[in-house]
Structure 1
């Protein structure tokens, strides 16, 4: 007998012990991400062919203390490799782990390789060649601190590669993990089984192969042990023949029904092809369907629903997933009473949206991602009872009630003012620390980064509640809810690119049409707190030459142009936003040589600018230290210098509208007077109703010649 290590994922060790015991192994012991046992060649061949949970089997040749590279080399070269494989065979070393002395896995692999080839040379034999692409033999090494395990991979490519899935749907599960999920889902092998989000069909195919008692390795063409010196071809041929016969007979004996649904017809075709290659196509009925509206198929009595819904590891996908899980939970309760469900997900928050109490739960890893599998018993209730129960449950009552109140008050005002964009919630309740803005028929939820003393799981749960409650209260479709995370701004953070959705929306503000982008940037292209400021600029602009500095997407320029400005000049450092400003102007028919745009650092531009203007709008950042700016800018420290440069461009009867977002900003009126300028604070006049709670969102001043 030889010593072996069956490699698996964290959380699957005990399941693998049970499986190996059923395959005739008597001494299996779980270790982290694996199981150790002793076996004959015949037993290990059978394990390789029949294990649904192991990713590979390693013949352990040595376990030793490894403090440095010399320990590694000497322990490797001490093994009689000539007894393991012929020198004509190509090999590769899979080295996993590091320690204080061996800090690089490639270096560790090189020392193992040296020990192996030196063993052959010392016995007067040719050096075996290395082949990373198509090796005959894979050497497996695990190193953790000062403990090393060295062996030969009996399998070759990973056992999850069953041979039936050359292509996959979205984010496919490994076959080994799928098998573990099936084994723990509460299915007895005879009940009907349904996957409402089946993707490429892995869960159902693995279950069907189990029901047919079909060896998962029956389709594999090559095995690592076939090239070893002690390979027993006759023993292997007999084991393989038995499995082939069982596979053919087993399919005909299956009494369970399998149903797979997905809303993507292309992925369903992939699933059908996978089932055909696996030899179980006649057992599984695939059809197009949406988990959010799924109904019980004919013949599905007291069955099991098993699913691996999307988790949403990428920021911004949460609103749609929350709606999906919520609707899916409702369908499970209304359509599948008397059945059982088992749902696998990385997100406890999303699982909570099912609004079901789990009977059992297990921890498993999907790759490096910690996940939960939760099993549910679904009570028999009528659809009306389920709907009534779910409808009567108010999510986050305090938050929901505040949101309803705000919508009633602010929504009425916005309709009267003819505004498509306005804020309906701004961290009104400290524990629900978000801003919620309406943009036409869409909603943007901006989560302010939680304080460090708030546990991450608690913050996630609150955000999930916020999204669910917002969808419930507003009635907006989930695909029209956009989620963003705001942190403390550094410099001109509105220029930060988040994605490349490139989906824009046309909105109306006091009769002016503007373009917003809710997806690609941290900000949307429109600062909502300045809507009254922009309207006022439009009212002041008739027949005047208008200058807009730090113009962003030029929304203030558009208001001025629509208001009858004789000319406009728009300055910003970003070419992206200048082009956006041009698009905004064109949308309103404001085109012509009288409208100028210049890409420049506004502070440097002011140093050398020429010309005269009747109306100047400047809304600089509170602080800026951009790579493209040679010096830093602080609005409190530098606003007088700014005014000095602006005065040079301001006509005698002209007006500067100066705004910034610095809390507790103090205008240096004494220094301003020395420049021959005076200032009037109009902050309260420019604060719209939807920002009335946040009186320091901005401050705004009219600056004129004294």
Structure 2
């Protein structure tokens, strides 16, 4: 049984990166020789100190009281060891339990099966000793046991005094999309020096401009008001443990209540804001449950609006969006830069703490951090950057950054350059090339009334981007770097480009749409990136076409086919037009407006055919005169009997869609496709055959059967002349 005077080995688990910080905290709570391990801290503690950790630890996930250890490798050795444990010291024979296992041995490889073995050993003990049988309760068991296998097959059996993870304080019942756990928020505040700031000032001043559901605000208030994080928790696992000492626990709770009452006089000057009114409503509910709603001011504000400082000094700490979606990066690059600029301008002499997993976004802050700490957010490798905002009008000092490894405690200073730097030499060359191209094309696009064109196409290999202008919007495609290119360097160059593009093209960051282009195979070309559904019309020649820059890799029109589409419009007068592999039907719209008496468009994708219908309606064309067919073009041609005067065929390089028979390889299958199309072409008709396979060679059999003319060079406008292999195009007629 437990003893008030005994010393126990106690393990406290935590998130990666918090080990040393937790060790320091536990020693203040009475632990002896607390040592940081990976994901946990182990130390010696009395039962009262273990209880105090349950009540006061702001960082721990669980507090585990060690029962026994043994070197165990096989299932038999495990069972023999567990049979020696006196389980009646911890659990009633008809009580409830739950077992968790972490780690494996060469013979015990499945943690779930091992947990069942532990449970069975406990059940067998009570059946033999008391003829009673405890049951399993996964939600709220009387006792939760934990078995961990260390290296070398050392097994550590412990009792979980927590019951539930200690990050669950009891006040946060609602959260936004990507909330910080409460103990992670507390860790950020501790690393930011918040307790010392509170102790030194009469008034605690804190601001979170991306407050979400209010976790940082609540944890900062608990620290400032000296509130034990365990006080709001409705239940603790130790309360139903047979070894529990209620008098010890009650004394600690009363002490915590007295400290909370004494700390209530601390003046809080807190603000939080978020752009989402629903999230702010959640924050209000959470803070009300925490008893803090009257101490925090909450506002609904756009992310790019930072109010002037409301106090001379304080802590601005925040966890902005990270940019999990690539399309968000242009806006986030500007957001971080604007945040940094406003902090420097309006929050002089404040402390600034930024938590993010995107180092390149942190580079947008025009300050040098004096420290940065790696602190994981679940599986994300994140880092907390700490800045001191200088007085207004002064230049921030360049400081060295301590990159602190919490487990090994190495603290070698490593100089970094976290700031909104002037463009690097390479990035400036990129910006100059972009500006040169823009000037070069300006007269041409104005003369030809073109508002959609490619302004940059990997002109510099280091900045491997395709940049297209669509009216006042910009579509940026990053060519995925090969494995030989360092991922960090590629990300750095991308962020540099995103810094340059808005100023050179004079476009707002929220009108830049970023995607990564990889080799397209199978259904990838149809893969949906987002569901925003934002379509807008662009003008090309005499038609309007709908584009979507957010939802798909491609936008709805292939810009390099512009001359081909305009050629089709001229050739279409009085013809029956067939568009094979029609995509969104841009060529069909040109042919229809150009005077085709009827059009037929064939594609395997219903999404693209629906897009074509919208384009037809946009141009006020009679749907009855324009047939749309969802089919495999190759199989459809085999069944079709009508003749057409003008055919456009632009097949994919390769396709293996489940909805088509076999696969399509344009180099291999070109003769079959051309033959099938020519069977449907009238005697004096014209087939325009295009594809974008680099290195494509027209089949000698096709050259022998038909009159073929390579018109590739004629179908390249100035914006694609530097990329002559973007497509290949041929006129094909009957001999």
TM-score calculated relative to the size of structure 1: 0.95
- Aligned partners of 2:225 and 2:264 also within 8 Å: yes
User: In structure 2, what is the Cα distance between the partners aligned to 1:98 and 1:239?
Assistant: 37
Counterpart in 1 of 2:221?
Answer: 208
- Aligned partners of 2:367 and 2:396 also within 8 Å: no
Q: Which runs of 5+ in 2 are unaligned?
A: 1-6, 398-418
Counterpart in 1 of 2:636?
Answer: 605
Is 1:164 aligned with 2:195?
A: no
**What SS does the aligned partner of 1:209 have?**
helix
- Aligned partners of 1:363 and 1:373 also within 8 Å: yes
Point out the more displaced range, 289-298 or 321-330: 289-298
Point out the more displaced range, 419-428 or 311-320: 311-320
Counterpart in 1 of 2:491?
Answer: 460
Counterpart in 2 of 1:126?
Answer: 132
Which of 339, 342, 346 is equivalent to 2:353?
342
How far the C-alpha of 1:581 sits from its partner, in A, is: 1.3
Cα distance change of structure 1 residues 173 and 600 upon mapping to structure 2, 3 Å threshold: same
Counterpart in 2 of 1:40?
Answer: 46
How many pairs are equivalent?
699
Residues 576-615 of structure 1 aligned to structure 2 (within 5 Å)? 576-615=607-646
Counterpart in 1 of 2:406?
Answer: none
- Aligned partners of 2:319 and 2:354 also within 8 Å: yes
Point out the more displaced range, 25-34 or 407-416: 407-416
- Aligned partners of 2:271 and 2:298 also within 8 Å: yes
Is 1:517 aligned with 2:524?
A: no
User: In structure 1, what is the Cα distance between the partners aligned to 2:276 and 2:534?
Assistant: 23
Cα distance change of structure 1 residues 231 and 638 upon mapping to structure 2, 3 Å threshold: closer
User: In structure 2, what is the Cα distance between the partners aligned to 1:384 and 1:589?
Assistant: 60
Cα distance change of structure 1 residues 277 and 557 upon mapping to structure 2, 3 Å threshold: same
How far the C-alpha of 1:575 sits from its partner, in A, is: 1.8
Q: Which runs of 5+ in 1 are unaligned?
A: none
How far the C-alpha of 1:118 sits from its partner, in A, is: 1.6
Counterpart in 2 of 1:304?
Answer: 315
**CA deviations over 1:515-537 (Å, ceiling 9, x no partner):** 12222222112111001100100
Is 1:152 aligned with 2:159?
A: yes
Cα distance change of structure 1 residues 57 and 684 upon mapping to structure 2, 3 Å threshold: same
- Aligned partners of 1:87 and 1:126 also within 8 Å: yes
User: In structure 1, what is the Cα distance between the partners aligned to 2:254 and 2:558?
Assistant: 72
Cα distance change of structure 1 residues 644 and 261 upon mapping to structure 2, 3 Å threshold: closer
Say what the alpha-carbon RMSD is for the aligned residues.
2.1
Residues 317-466 of structure 1 aligned to structure 2 (within 5 Å)? 317-382=328-393, 393-394=422-423, 396-466=427-497
Counterpart in 1 of 2:728?
Answer: 699
**CA deviations over 1:635-678 (Å, ceiling 9, x no partner):** 2333233232222222221111111112232223x523542x21
Q: Give structure 1 regions of 4+ aligned residues with deviation exceeding 6 angstroms.
A: 383-386
**CA deviations over 1:212-232 (Å, ceiling 9, x no partner):** 111111112211111222211
How far the C-alpha of 1:335 sits from its partner, in A, is: 1.0
**What SS does the aligned partner of 1:133 have?**
coil
How far the C-alpha of 1:492 sits from its partner, in A, is: 6.1
TM-score calculated relative to the size of structure 2: 0.91
Cα distance change of structure 1 residues 475 and 144 upon mapping to structure 2, 3 Å threshold: farther
User: In structure 2, what is the Cα distance between the partners aligned to 1:55 and 1:100?
Assistant: 28
- Aligned partners of 1:53 and 1:180 also within 8 Å: yes
- Aligned partners of 2:480 and 2:518 also within 8 Å: yes
Cα distance change of structure 1 residues 290 and 81 upon mapping to structure 2, 3 Å threshold: same
User: In structure 2, what is the Cα distance between the partners aligned to 1:135 and 1:398?
Assistant: 65
Is 1:180 aligned with 2:174?
A: no
Counterpart in 1 of 2:94?
Answer: 88
User: In structure 2, what is the Cα distance between the partners aligned to 1:484 and 1:505?
Assistant: 19
Is 1:199 aligned with 2:212?
A: yes
Is 1:277 aligned with 2:289?
A: yes
User: In structure 2, what is the Cα distance between the partners aligned to 1:179 and 1:23?
Assistant: 16
Counterpart in 2 of 1:263?
Answer: 275
